Chains A and B, each alone.
Chain A
Amino acid sequence: MAEEWRPEGFGAIAALGVFIVASIWLGALAQRAVSKGSFLQGYFLGNRGLGAWALALTATVQSGGTFMGFPSLVYSYGWVVALWIASYMVVPITGFGVLAKRFSQLSRRTGAITVPDLFRERFNSPAVGLVSSLLIMFFMCFMMVAQFKAGASVIKVAWPQEATPTLTATGGDIDWLFYLGLAVFTVTVVSYTMIGGFLAAVWTDLFQSVMMFIGVAFLLGLALWRLGGLDEASLRAVENTGPGFAQAPGFSPDGREFLTPGLALSFFFVWSFGGMGSPATLVRLMACKDTQTIRRSVFLLAAYNMMIYLPLIMICVAARAVFPDVEKSDEIIPRMALWTTQDLWGGSLLAGLVLAAPFGAVMATVSSYLVVIASGLVRDVYQRFFHHDAGQREIQYLTYATMAAVGLVAVLANLRPVAYLQAIVVFCGSSGAAAFVVPAVMAAFWRRATAAGALAAMLAGSGVALILLIVGSQMEDPLVGPATSFRSYYLFGLEPIVWGLLASLLAGVLVSLCTTPPDPKLVSRLFDVEDFNTPEKTPSPTLAS
């Protein structure tokens, strides 16, 4: 099929335009809400007012990978990708059930605004705060840069056929449409995030999550209607590929084993712990309103995940029936959106609505990462280590400048677009989890955990994940896992997250036990009933007797 196939008419791009304007408007609304409180708490934490819908639909690991990388995998390898993503069935329970309540409470007791703040206060250690901040920025920058490519690609695919020659004729081999998309995407997402901070990221994320749901529902209905049902789609997909498309370890023309049993097991760690340990998730837990919000979020997210991922798998199986051999499989969802709506009345507008789903997912991810990265640089590094008495206005301007600079860096990094979006998403998710899950659990539940132990856990987890990536990238392709040169070494057939978590756990526990126990007063302040710790109050008679 033609790789440069584009929609006719301006409907798709117009729908995306409306979506963009709506996002900026939400950013402006958020700005008003933020300006009611102090800048730091309002801008970086939304004044701890997240409700159930906002928490459930935004504190997740959905990203450009959900609508670009993941569909590409289903298209390439078939039904086995359902097993690859299956742990999303328990992501809401692990994501909110393990840490949410305690992180919410700890952030209130310590007055923490950012995740490094919380680690720093919990362990009473600036070093733990600084290292966590640097690790967060490292992994998030990596992942965020990859998302920009996805955002630019959506605009490129939605660009109307009529306008395409004018742009490409002057550019030779340069993909002007991609760069135009990159510019529009960057200006949009940086603007609305800059205007409204954390709350803008959350509100637009919520709005975009709803759009994703509508987009996926539309696309599934249209795809199955066009193909005469999933039965027919599945059959034709297998005919276009081979029986491996409906089996594990997945379809491959060159003998690649996409998902060995060891990797299938590993991905239960990747998504469950990746979601739990992601700094973007942790900061939302700190911002939630109350425990009722947490409870309701568990079920809302469980239902949402099921209604997003299972239909996406079916859509991409159908895509293999329609397009037997697409070279740029990252664009399969936008292409399905255009194909399913091509001769419908108002079809191009409908395609735009469907395209808003991947665009929204990418914008949501980037905006939340921008806030975390800016808060890391400004609050956790600049304010703490360089200018302790920086005023509110100075912090505010520095935050805006940081966001603009991060956007610019991402654009520069995408002048040669990154490949392997999903591989980068998996690497960052699993390395971040290897770095933060164990320290977070130690912080929340283990009184004996020490600062040195937390530091060791962070460094051991992330170190092991990075070493395995470096080793894997240097070795010959083992023909296991996705086809990418951005691959880790699968020690004993398992993803690095398993080894990273194990190393992190061992290091955290052993170093904690070998170092001086933490100050009992600090621990008591964070683990015991508040009245019990208030110096002016005497313990209750029952306790004193």
Chain B
Amino acid sequence: MLTPEKTFPQEDPVVRNARREAIVSVLIWFLAMAYTVGYCWLFAYGRDPATMRFYAGIPDWVLWGIIAPWLVCLVVSWWFAYVFMTDEPLGAEAPPAGDDEL
């Protein structure tokens, strides 16, 4: 007869959800990096100073390449925290690790 752990590895929902959230986190990180570095690479490097515009003292590439996505990320963080992530019990506390040997 097969043992339950071999046949039915019932993965804890916390593990499943945490994995899903981790994948989405990394995806958000990648998109933020691609946009920010990409935009700044195009508009901040090798730029003719005469074409530089300032908005309230902030260079245009900083505004659109960094501050704007930062604001978007703030909204995304709210969505991630209050809509996407799930609440679940973290389980019971085991006795301090290694105390059997101590």
Q: Chain A interface (Cβ within 8 Å of chain B)?
A: 38, 40-41, 48, 79-80, 82-83, 86-87, 89-90, 92-94, 97-99, 101-102, 104-105, 108-113, 117-118, 120-121, 229-235, 243, 246-249, 261, 264-265, 268, 272, 290-292, 294-299, 302-303, 306, 310, 314, 317, 383-384, 388-390, 441, 444-445, 520-521, 524, 527-530, 532-533, 539, 543-544
Contact = CB atoms under 8 A, between A and B. Distances in A.
Interface string B1-44: 00011101111111101110110111011001100110011001
A83 B87 contact: no
Nearest to B102: A388
Contacts of B32: 87, 89-90, 268
A388 to B, nearest CB: 5
6 contacts: A79-B59, A104-B90, A108-B94, A290-B90, A314-B57, A530-B92
Contacts of A98: 21-22, 25-26
Contact of B65 (A83, A298, A306, A383): A83
Contact of B29 (A90, A243, A310): A90
A524 B25 contact: no
A77 B65 CA distance: 18
B12 A97 contact: no
Nearest to B24: A97
A234 B57 CA distance: 5
A264 B99 contact: no
A520 B25 contact: no
Contacts of A530: 12, 91-92
A82 B62 contact: yes
A543 B45 contact: no
Contact of A264 (B4, B6, B40, B95): B40
Nearest to B47: A247
Interface string B58-102: 110110011101110110111011100111111111111111011
Given A261-B41, A302-B77, A110 B97 contact: yes
A314 B81 CA distance: 29
Majority SS of interface residues in chain A? helix
Contacts of B19: 445
B37 A230 contact: no
Contacts of A101: 14, 17-18, 21, 88, 90
Given A113-B97, A235-B57, A302-B74, 17 more contacts: A79-B59, A82-B66, A86-B36, A89-B73, A90-B32, A90-B33, A93-B80, A97-B25, A101-B17, A111-B96, A243-B49, A248-B47, A290-B90, A296-B81, A298-B80, A390-B102, A532-B8
Given A90-B28, A101-B21, A299 B82 contact: yes
Majority SS of interface residues in chain B? helix
Contacts of B52: 243, 246-247
B70 A306 contact: yes
A241 B87 CA distance: 52
Nearest to B36: A86
A234 B55 CA distance: 10
Interface of B: 4-6, 8-15, 17-19, 21-22, 24-26, 28-29, 32-33, 36-37, 40-41, 44-45, 47, 49, 52, 54, 56-59, 61-62, 65-67, 69-71, 73-74, 76-78, 80-82, 85-99, 101-102
Contacts of A314: 57
A413 B75 CA distance: 44
B85 A291 contact: yes
Nearest to B77: A302
B15 A527 contact: yes
Given A105-B91, A290-B87, A445-B15, A383 B33 contact: no
A292 B87 contact: yes
A384 B98 contact: yes
B21 A231 contact: no
Given A108-B90, A111-B97, A230-B56, A528 B5 contact: yes
A233 B102 CA distance: 62
A450 B75 CA distance: 38
Given A117-B98, A243-B49, A83 B44 contact: yes
Given A87-B32, A109-B91, A246-B59, A94 B25 contact: yes
A108 B92 contact: yes
B26 A94 contact: yes
Contact of A383 (B71, B82, B102): B102
A491 B84 CA distance: 38
A524 B70 contact: no
A104 B65 CA distance: 35
Nearest to B40: A83
Contacts of B88: 101, 291
B82 A265 contact: no
A97 B80 contact: yes
Contacts of A248: 40, 44-45, 47, 61
A526 B79 CA distance: 29
B65 A521 contact: no
A388 B101 CA distance: 7
Contact of B41 (A90, A243, A264, A302): A264
A268 B28 CA distance: 12
A97 B82 CA distance: 12
Contacts of A290: 87, 89-90
A521 B19 CA distance: 21
Contact of A231 (B17, B57, B98): B57
A543 B61 CA distance: 57
Given A310-B70, A445-B18, A543-B8, A291 B49 contact: no
Nearest to A302: B77
Contacts of B33: 87, 90, 265, 268
A294 B18 CA distance: 12
A298 B10 CA distance: 29
Top 9 nearest A-B pairs by Cβ distance? Answer: A230-B57, A97-B25, A302-B77, A243-B49, A111-B94, A234-B57, A248-B44, A89-B73, A298-B81
